C-alpha cells in the first residue's frame, strides 16, 4: 500500500500533470464566476457605451422569418460574451501559472535560503560545482 501512494505521489507531482490540473480546475471552478462577471458586470456598461445594445441578441439576418419559414441568421452577439469569458479565464490561468513559476524558481535557486530547495536540485548544484572545480584543475594541469 505504501508503494502505491509513493507511485501516485510521483505521478501527481510531474510538472505537466500539475499544469494540466491547474488549467482544468481553474476552468471548471471559475466558469460560473466568469459567466456572471461578463453577463452582470462587464456587458451592462458596455451595452450603455454602445447605445443600449444587448450583445447577446446581436445577429445578422440572412432571411426574415414568416409564419411558415424560420428566420435564418448569423448570431454573432454571443461571440462577444464568449470571447470576454475566454479572456478572463486565460488571464486568470496566466496569473496563477506565473505565481507558481515564481515559487518554483525560488525553490530551485540554491542560493535562496528563504525557500527550502528540493534535495535533487541541491545535489545537481553540488555536482555542477564539483565539475566546474574539476575543469579548473584540468585547465591548470594543461598550462
pLDDT in tens, 60-104: 889 988 888 899 999 888 888 778 778 877 777 788 788 888 877
CA dihedral 95, 96, 101, 104 (to 10 degrees): 150
DSSP 8-state secondary structure symbol assigned to residue 114: S
Q: DSSP readout, 71-106?
A: -EEE--HHHHHHHHHHHHHHHHHHHHHHHHHHHHHH
pLDDT band of 42, cuts 50, 70, 90? confident
Q: What is the mean pLDDT of the chain?
A: 79
Say what the pLDDT of residue 70 is. Answer: 92
Q: Tell me: the pLDDT tens digits for 103-112? A: 777 776 767 6
Amino acid at each position: 500500500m505504501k508503494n502505491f501512494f509513493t507511485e501516485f505521489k510521483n505521478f501527481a507531482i510531474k510538472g505537466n500533470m500539475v499544469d494540466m490540473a491547474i488549467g482544468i480546475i481553474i476552468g471548471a471552478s471559475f466558469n460560473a464566476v466568469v459567466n456572471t462577471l461578463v453577463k452582470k458586470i462587464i456587458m451592462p456598461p458596455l451595452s450603455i457605451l454602445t447605445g443600449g445594445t444587448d450583445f447577446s441578441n446581436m445577429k445578422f439576418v440572412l432571411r426574415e422569418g414568416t409564419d411558415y419559414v424560420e428566420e435564418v441568421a448569423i448570431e454573432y452577439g454571443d461571440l462577444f460574451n464568449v470571447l470576454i469569458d475566454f479572456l478572463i479565464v486565460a488571464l486568470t490561468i496566466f496569473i496563477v501559472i506565473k505565481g507558481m513559476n515564481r515559487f518554483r524558481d525560488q525553490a530551485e535557486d540554491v542560493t535562496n535560503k528563504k525557500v527550502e530547495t528540493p534535495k535533487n536540485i541541491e545535489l545537481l548544484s553540488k555536482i555542477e560545482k564539483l565539475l566546474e572545480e574539476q575543469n579548473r584543475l584540468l585547465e591548470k594541469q594543461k598550462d
